[in-house]
Homo-oligomer: A and B are copies of this chain.
């Protein structure tokens, strides 16, 4: 069996100029990055503002398990299949972070015959967006520390700096550091830490900004620290939003690439799905909607985090609302939600499928609460049995949700035709009538309570002592009308990663809030959230190499 990189390298790529002609983009509209990658110019983005807006399909998933669901792969395969059945389709996806690529993942641009290409470039530096975000984030840190060093006119309390530095690597040793040591000319000693770049608020901002002006306004609104008088210090107080915008002026332009089947793909931005909203950029999705009739996009983690945030945080920034939501599941993962151990997943277990279905069912119902029709997509595996499939279809019929098997990993576009037709039917006849779960005017407590009770299926919300204090402060600072961004384990509806299936009766405790006033949301932490991964004992990097002709080796 071929690996992902072998499949990717066996494809004869078309020049990106040729790919984008399908959607009315010419050579003058783009900035090439090599022959197979490009950024779309602002002139073109402006020129298409009055174009009709296409249909929007969000791909999400059940709560993930180590068995894997294949959400990106399914998104790409669905878009390829939609094109194959005659719908002019584009795809909008997140771009991968180098850290996990060098660590465990090896690569993250779909898989099998459902990949975006050139996968080597997308997984490495791509068009430099991550590097620009890293640079902007760390320039802000350097300018902040320099402000303190040069007299601290704003009265910044160096014990209350919340802005951290970042690197786009898995580097646990940088999680908690002390900087400014050695001499008075080396700055003011203080505690600091590094997150991975995709956890930077600047990534979230880049993914929500609608243009350069909005980008600058959001950057200006980042809170970086508090003064000795406990007042927030914003980027605008440091007067560096112009420089940060300059550093990001190209990174904000959406990137154009292609799938194995030549579907034009916008791969742009990739914020975390816990401490941020987990979706590709608003600019990429909006642009795709103005260029194509159908747009497939995805949201990170399971639907309780990814789709909830897509629908409550990202959607209000888009020119349209979703016409259908595809929920990806596998029989293997449903069996795990039904209590089967990972080692036993290759054995038929219809009862476990029935039991695990509760997880899928809750996600379907949740999507319906937003007024959008759901379609279930089963990502086929060799070990799936006929009896399991029959049982699942029966269960889906009982709750009146369409379900299709898809084999896009193995068969590419052909493996997604049935799914594509079902999705088109949902889009055209599903009667989508989007409503947001909460309004900005709801208090932070009310927003969180709605998410916990209506989406997670929990009983109630508790606020820890720190969170309670912050609720008062945030109201005082005028931050309480912002949307909420929940930081919770992706593995369970609850805040306990081991509670699989569809747990009930649980409480969620909000330990602390983190203001992301630039991005425009308040993060609610339900526990410890990892914002800097570590490397495993045998990092993927150990297998990487480059052939003498420049071909990448060891990405997969």
Which of A109-117, A333-341, A491-499, A548-556 has 4 or more CB atoms under 8 Å from chain B?
A548-556
Contacts of A150 in B (CB 8 A): 537
Query: Are B552 and A243 in contact, CB atoms less than 8 angstroms apart?
Result: no
A130-168 vs B, Cβ < 8 Å mask (1 yes, 0 no): 011011001101110110011100000000000000011
A410 within 8 A of B: no
Question: A172 vs B212: C-alpha distance in the bound complex, in angstroms?
Answer: 30
Question: A552 vs B181: C-alpha distance in the bound complex, in angstroms?
Answer: 35
Of the listed residues A134, A141, A546, the one surrounded by the most CB atoms of chain B closer than 10 A to its CB is A546
Question: A65 vs B550: C-alpha distance in the bound complex, in angstroms?
Answer: 43
A240 within 8 A of B: yes
Which of A29-37, A47-55, A472-480 has 4 or more CB atoms under 8 Å from chain B?
A29-37
Query: Are A249 and B550 in contact, CB atoms less than 8 angstroms apart?
Result: yes
Question: A456 vs B240: C-alpha distance in the bound complex, in angstroms?
Answer: 44
Question: A186 vs B175: C-alpha distance in the bound complex, in angstroms?
Answer: 6
Contact partner of A548 (CB less than 8 A), chosen from B142, B174, B212, B537, is B212
Q: How far is the CB of A194 from chain B (nearest CB, A)?
A: 9
Contacts of A183 in B (CB 8 A): 176
Chain multiplicity (copies): 2
Contact partner of A173 (CB less than 8 A), chosen from B125, B149, B170, B176, is B149
- Which chain B residue lies CB-closest to A530? B185
Contact partner of A32 (CB less than 8 A), chosen from B33, B168, B240, B543, is B33
Question: A134 vs B185: C-alpha distance in the bound complex, in angstroms?
Answer: 24
Query: Are A550 and B42 in contact, CB atoms less than 8 angstroms apart?
Result: yes
Helix, strand, loop or mixed for chain A's interface?
A: mixed
Q: How far is the CB of A543 from chain B (nearest CB, A)?
A: 8
A162-198 vs B, Cβ < 8 Å mask (1 yes, 0 no): 0000011111111111111111011110100000000
Contacts of A146 in B (CB 8 A): 172, 534-535, 539
Q: How far is the CB of A518 from chain B (nearest CB, A)?
A: 17
| Interface size of A as a range | 35 or more
Question: A539 vs B98: C-alpha distance in the bound complex, in angstroms?
Answer: 31
Query: Are A149 and B172 in contact, CB atoms less than 8 angstroms apart?
Result: yes
Contact partner of A176 (CB less than 8 A), chosen from B145, B186, B548, is B186
Query: Are B169 and A139 in contact, CB atoms less than 8 angstroms apart?
Result: yes
Query: Are B212 and A546 in contact, CB atoms less than 8 angstroms apart?
Result: yes
A514 within 8 A of B: no
A68 within 8 A of B: no
Question: A149 vs B536: C-alpha distance in the bound complex, in angstroms?
Answer: 10
Contact partner of A179 (CB less than 8 A), chosen from B33, B177, B554, is B177
Q: How far is the CB of A50 from chain B (nearest CB, A)?
A: 19
Whether A546 contacts B173 in the complex (CB less than 8 A), given A135-B98, A178-B181, comes out as no
- Which chain B residue lies CB-closest to A130? B131
Contact partner of A171 (CB less than 8 A), chosen from B138, B174, B185, is B138
A250 within 8 A of B: yes
Question: A95 vs B553: C-alpha distance in the bound complex, in angstroms?
Answer: 29
A471 within 8 A of B: no
Of the listed residues A131, A145, A246, the one surrounded by the most CB atoms of chain B closer than 10 A to its CB is A246
A466 within 8 A of B: no
Query: Are B142 and A169 in contact, CB atoms less than 8 angstroms apart?
Result: yes
Q: How far is the CB of A181 from chain B (nearest CB, A)?
A: 4
A2 within 8 A of B: no
- Which chain B residue lies CB-closest to A173? B187
- Which chain B residue lies CB-closest to A39? B34
Q: Give residues 199-238 of A contacting B (CB, 8 Å).
A: 211-213, 216
- Which chain B residue lies CB-closest to A250? B125
Contact partner of A243 (CB less than 8 A), chosen from B31, B39, B172, B541, is B541
Query: Are B168 and A535 in contact, CB atoms less than 8 angstroms apart?
Result: no
Question: A175 vs B149: C-alpha distance in the bound complex, in angstroms?
Answer: 14
Q: 12 A-B contacts, Cβ less than 8 Å apart?
A: A32-B33, A125-B131, A125-B247, A141-B171, A143-B535, A149-B172, A150-B537, A175-B181, A178-B178, A245-B545, A246-B546, A249-B550
A residues with CB within 8 A of B: 31-35, 39, 42, 98, 102, 124-125, 128, 131-132, 134-135, 138-139, 141-143, 145-146, 149-151, 167-183, 185-188, 190, 211-213, 216, 239-240, 242-243, 245-247, 249-250, 534-535, 537, 539, 541-546, 548-550, 552-554
User: 7 smallest A-B Cβ distances: which pairs?
Assistant: A242-B545, A173-B187, A131-B131, A176-B182, A243-B541, A142-B171, A32-B32
